[in-house]
Chain A
């Protein structure tokens, strides 16, 4: 079955850019949408954004100015970049396959499954 694995630095300095990669195994990244979701320590889940294998994206408005999600179909990977990070960006970051229903030009997010195991990123000097 499809498995996802996040990778990237566990420590990022304030004002720098957080960069993570999600590697998809056991299936193709094609024909699906893929999301990044984060969870600050002891807090709830926050959807960051998604990317379609073709490269189209959609982001959480609260993070849109700082977020870039990209895809590399040749490596079966997609990536997250979050710029100008602060301590508030400290969180466990998850990647997840995103089931969507496409009707016309609208992609309705249905659910997230499966998820990666998550990776803790701490923002600190």
Chain B
């Protein structure tokens, strides 16, 4: 199973909106609504930000939103803040009954 494809880096100024893409195939992202997103600050464990494509866990800011179209899922961060600077990973269920992560995207707040 190949990792899902994410851009290596995305940047934006405070207050702006950015979108991170996560591209897979019909055997993973496109085939199931089981896409989740994780935020990881340096030296820390990943934190769940979005589950089942577009749902936010309790306690996660509503500035984070998720969506999916075909084989590509997206995470949008609106009103970008300095604390949002981190690595972000998508994850999906696959037709092999396994889990797969994305390649990861480094978000920089300019």
Q: Let me know if B24 is at the binding interface, CB within 8 A.
A: no
Q: A115-B46, A117-B45, A118-B45 are in contact. Are A44 and B89 (CB under 8 A)?
A: yes
Evaluate whether A110 and B51 lie within 8 angstroms (CB atoms) in the complex, with A45-B104, A47-B98 already known. Answer: yes
Chain B residues with Cβ under 8 A from A47's Cβ? 91, 98-101
Nearest CB of B to A47, in Å = 4
A111-B45 contact, Cβ under 8 Å, with A44-B102, A45-B89, A47-B98 = no
Bound together, the chains give a CA A106 to CA B53 distance in angstroms of 20
Q: How many pairs of residues, A versus B, come closer than 8 Å at their CB atoms?
A: 74
Residues of A whose CB lies within 8 Å of any CB of B are 35, 37, 44-47, 50, 58-62, 94, 98-99, 101, 106-118
B-side residues, CB < 8 A to A, are: 1, 3, 32, 34, 36, 38, 44-48, 51-52, 57, 89, 91, 93, 96-104
